[in-house]
Amino acid sequence: EVQLVESGGGLVQPGGSLRLSCGASGFTFSSYDMTWVRQAPGKGLEWVSYISSSASVTYIADSVKGRFTVSRDNAKNLVYLQMKSLRAEDTALYYCARLTGDTVTHDYWGQGTLVTVSS
């Protein structure tokens, strides 16, 4: 069974940093591209980042470019989202999701980890 479990969220002050982790199981992690998608309270879905299966290609949304970086450790089946210079508008539930290679769609999602940026 495919499972994605996010962790690392919490309350952080504006300007602070957090590193989110997503642990994967139930599939060959190193064969799949992964993404992070966030959802602000009561709002829609916003794609945040992409990392290819080998980590050779990454993309970051303009709204977080220069502040967020994505990485992965295929030996540990983990994908990370390093977030710095956090702002109130980064407050959201952050999901990691597996990306299908052929249709570029998110076929499995984690349960999300909540990041709250507030003083």
Query: Positive or negative, the Cα torsion across 17, 96, 51, 21?
Result: positive
Minimum separation from the CB atom of position 13 to another protein (A): 27
- Does position 55 interact with another protein (CB under 8 A)? The reply is no
State yes or no: residue 45 binds another protein (CB under 8 A). Answer: yes
Using the rule CB under 8 A, is 106 a contact of another protein?
yes
The answer to whether residue 69 forms part of the interface with another protein (CB under 8 A) is no
Residue 76 contacts residue 3 (beta carbons within 8 Å)? no
Taking the complex as a whole, how short is the minimal distance between the CB of residue 47 and another protein, in angstroms? Answer: 4
Is 62 an interacting residue with respect to another protein (CB under 8 A)?
yes
Q: Pick the stretch among 19-27, 56-64, 72-80, 82-90 that binds another protein (CB under 8 A).
A: 56-64
Are the C-beta atoms of residues 96 and 22 closer than 8 Å to each other? yes
CA distance 41 to 22: 21
CA angle 81, 43, 93 (to 5 degrees): 30
What is the rounded CA–CA span in Å between residue 35 and residue 104? 10
Candidate list 95, 113, 115, 117; residue touching another protein; CB under 8 A? 95
- Residues within the interface to another protein (CB under 8 A): 35, 37, 44-47, 50, 59, 61-62, 95, 100, 103-107, 109-112
